[in-house]
Structure 1
Amino acid sequence: MYAKCGDHSMASEVFDKIRVRNVYSWNNMLSGYAKLGMGKAARKIFDKMPERDFVSWNMMVMAYVQSKRLDEAVRCYLELRRSDCGYNEYSFAGVLTVCVKLRALWLLKQLYCQAFVLGFLSNVVLSSSIMDAYAKCGEMGDGRSLFDEMK
């Protein structure tokens, strides 16, 4: 609640008082820093986490995006893909934002292929986000092709 209200110091104080932390409590603190654009603080929490899941990685990618550290967001996404904790459709959200901001069509095409191979294109939100990214990168043809393939 404190993080959602923008009070990171109170959120941190409450977090520090938690005696037994689990991945859910760590992810909530990480999410708070990510949403506030506090990439360095998010990274400190991330590095201290005794256990990480794909939500942790997704939040870290978003923390880098929010703090405009786009190269680090891509590196973090690549680390996620190499990790053994898995990923889901939402793992693409942050790195799609990077594609648009950098107009990195090469990366966008790779993400599309990954989503296709993993069977994630059936997720309308992800497919629409990829289509939107194609349009914002000036690739209307690829965006239209994806639109035509959508159910």
Structure 2
Amino acid sequence: MSTIAPLTRRRFALLTTAAMLAPTAAARAQPFAEFERFAARLRELSGFDPLPRPLVAALADRMSELEKRAIIGRDALPDELRKRVLTALYTGVYTPRGEDEGERIAYPDALMYATVEDTINVPSYCGGLPGFWAQKPEMA
């Protein structure tokens, strides 16, 4: 007698979904081996501590391995790379070397908002300052 459960539609859907998600979860678990050193170097370059993790992860995903190794290394960064990295951190838009158009990587997490977060509303899908919905409405 077999101890294997029969393959029902529900079990098939569950196994198929799990098989599709497994590689994605593994890829997200570790963006690249030196991620923490990369993030530490970006904190050092930008002067911000902590840096938003989605911003650092998105930048790491878009950069070439050569650029990431140059950032992690202790040698002085070439000015062109330093400018592109700092521009990406502050604006949330990364422009690969040799390209004219940038790609939005983490716009709401861009550092340009961290410098003025107490006075300017970060662009988002919501209309007021953060937390405005928690205040009682003014009565007419």
Task: Please say whether Structure 1 and Structure 2 have the same fold, judged by a TM-score greater than 0.5.
Answer: no
Compare the two structures and name the one with the higher helix fraction: 1
Between structure 1 and structure 2, the one with the greater Rg is 2
TM-score (norm: length of structure 1) = 0.28
